[in-house]
Amino acid sequence: MSNVIDRLFEDVNAQLPPDSNNNVPQWPNLPEGEQDKADDLNGDNEEEIFTYDDYETSIEVSSRMGNRREIFEPSSEDSEIIEGGIRAKGFEAIAFYKSKRMIDSLPCKGKWGIFYIKQGLDKLAWDISRSYPGYGDPRELAHQFLFEHEHYHFQSDIQVLMFEALLKKHLYLPLRRALRNRKSYFVEEALANRRAYEWAKKQSVGLREFAHDFMSLQPNAYSRFEEPKQVLSGEWLASAVDLMPPYSSPRVDIISWVGTIPKDLLRPALCPEYVIYPQKLSSWIDPAWVPPPVTTITESPKVIKKLQDPKESMLAKKWATTKPRLIEDRFSNGLGFKPWPKEGPNIYSVKLDAGFRAHLENLGSGHWAAIKIGNHKEMGHG
């Protein structure tokens, strides 16, 4: 049965000229990022896909059988793939939005809306339950956290549809073609992360900290969620309306238009939600990148000298606490262990606390060297 969103897409598309796969804005070369799911999946329709309501029902049935919404620890293999995916692809490693415009394309041909990867939902719920117990149902918190991000993409889709109706030309699909393999550079991801972060801040201090750490791990535009909203919105308009590449000069003249979507179009029920049960997780987080293991860490002469300075005794204590945590579990919440390509392909960054970080060089076979340590400004983290 069609709803107001279905009819809106049909009405606007009827006003637009035919679209062509060759309709792509010509941009200068940008670094390539994550692979496009639609191009990489085979046998997509063999996956089990349920509506989110059906997924919730299955959990409730299990609860009545004695496992009251129990949260199970994910396998180490799934955890490593998911952790690597978040660092390489951002939110889209475990959930993604697919426009109704692309309903006849893979993945999930014949469906549109918000899609959650089951292992991603489970992993997020486990992390919340382990790190911040007592803040509420971890499953629902994980779902709502992902929903806030992905529903922002839905809202942006509707906003662009309104621009298309006004300008009488295709904007959404040409932009997505230009962003193929570059989606993590698109500022819409920063705005979507900002929306999820604002939601988390309203829940509790713990969820705010969790959201901040989770988003700070993500690449490129995803990690820009704390930049001023007007700056991000202006850059988004330059891409969404003028089809300009990422980091273009912002459209400041129409910033007030962002978010001016009729509230009756934003009811959650109007955007379908699904849960995908992958037969093989790496087929969805592809290529499956896993952060290297950490078994030993040595300090460079420069770092040793700094840590031995009596004025840096507090920093030395912070490092002495962080180092064994990193060796024990490099994915431990709050460490923010992630690549730092600004200083080289084998350089990673780890968080000591809210104000200090260390940079490590991967020497291979689990061996690392701490090569730089200091406050965020010294380390180039702003």
| pLDDT score, position 71 | 81
Which of the four pLDDT bands, split at 50, 70 and 90, describes residue 42?
Answer: very low
What integer best gives the mean pLDDT of the chain?
Answer: 89
User: Is 344 in the same domain as 263?
Assistant: no
Domain assignment present for 320: yes
User: Of the ranges 36-40, 196-200, 304-308, which one carries the lowest mean pLDDT score?
Assistant: 36-40
Which is more confident, 39 or 152?
152
pTM score: 0.90
Query: Domain boundary at 249, 278, 307, which?
Result: 278
* Total count of domains within the chain: 2
User: Is 348 in the same domain as 211?
Assistant: no
Q: pLDDT digits over 127-139, tens only?
A: 999 887 777 789 9
Read off the pLDDT of each residue in 281-303 and give the average, rounded to a whole number.
88
| pLDDT score, position 43 | 40
| pLDDT score, position 2 | 63
Which is more confident, 151 or 378?
151
User: Is 311 in the same domain as 208?
Assistant: no
| pLDDT score, position 90 | 92
Read off the pLDDT of each residue in 347-376 and give the average, rounded to a whole number.
95
| pLDDT score, position 287 | 64
Query: Domain boundary at 219, 243, 278, which?
Result: 278
| pLDDT score, position 381 | 82
User: Is 309 in the same domain as 206?
Assistant: no
| pLDDT score, position 38 | 40
pLDDT at 31 over 90: no
Query: Domain boundary at 243, 278, 313, which?
Result: 278
Residue range(s) defining the domain that contains residue 174: 31-278
User: Of the ranges 29-43, 141-155, 209-223, 324-338, which one carries the lowest mean pLDDT score?
Assistant: 29-43
pLDDT at 60 over 80: no
| pLDDT score, position 325 | 96
Domain assignment present for 9: no
pLDDT at 226 over 80: yes
Read off the pLDDT of each residue in 205-234 and give the average, rounded to a whole number.
94
Domain assignment present for 45: yes
User: Is 311 in the same domain as 271?
Assistant: no
- Which CATH number does the domain housing residue 331 bear? 3.30.2310.20
User: Is 64 in the same domain as 145?
Assistant: yes
Domain assignment present for 102: yes
Domain assignment present for 3: no
User: Is 260 in the same domain as 301?
Assistant: no
Domain assignment present for 10: no
User: Is 76 in the same domain as 150?
Assistant: yes
SS (HEC) of the chain: CCCHHHHHHHHHHHHCCCCCCCCCCCCCCCCCCCCCHHHHCCCHHHCEEEEHHHHHHHHHHHHHCCCCCCCCCCCHHHHHHHHHHHHHHHHHHCEEEECHHHCCCCCCCCCCEEEEEHHHHHHHHHHHHHHCCCCCCHHHHHHHHHHHHHHHHHHHHHHHHHHHHHHCCCCHHHHHHHCCCCHHHCCHHHHHHHHHHHHHHHHCHHHHHHHHHHHHCCCHHHHHCCCCHHHHHHHHHHHHCCCCCCCCCCCHHHHHHCCCCCHHHCCHHHCCEEEEECCCHHHCCCCCCCCCCCCEEEECHHHHHHHCCHHHHHHHHHHHHHHHHHHHCCCCCCCCCEECHHHCCCEEEEECCCCEEEEEEEEECCEEEEEEEEEHHHHCCC
| pLDDT score, position 10 | 94
Domain assignment present for 112: yes
User: Is 174 in the same domain as 96?
Assistant: yes
User: Of the ranges 67-71, 99-103, 189-193, 242-246, which one carries the lowest mean pLDDT score?
Assistant: 67-71
pLDDT at 107 over 80: yes
Read off the pLDDT of each residue in 341-352 and give the average, rounded to a whole number.
94
Which is more confident, 37 or 158?
158
| pLDDT score, position 58 | 82
User: Is 40 in the same domain as 149?
Assistant: yes
User: Is 335 in the same domain as 216?
Assistant: no
Which of the four pLDDT bands, split at 50, 70 and 90, describes residue 13?
Answer: very high
Which of the four pLDDT bands, split at 50, 70 and 90, describes residue 40?
Answer: very low
Which of the four pLDDT bands, split at 50, 70 and 90, describes residue 69?
Answer: low
pLDDT at 231 over 50: yes
| pLDDT score, position 130 | 85
Domain assignment present for 134: yes
User: Is 229 in the same domain as 104?
Assistant: yes
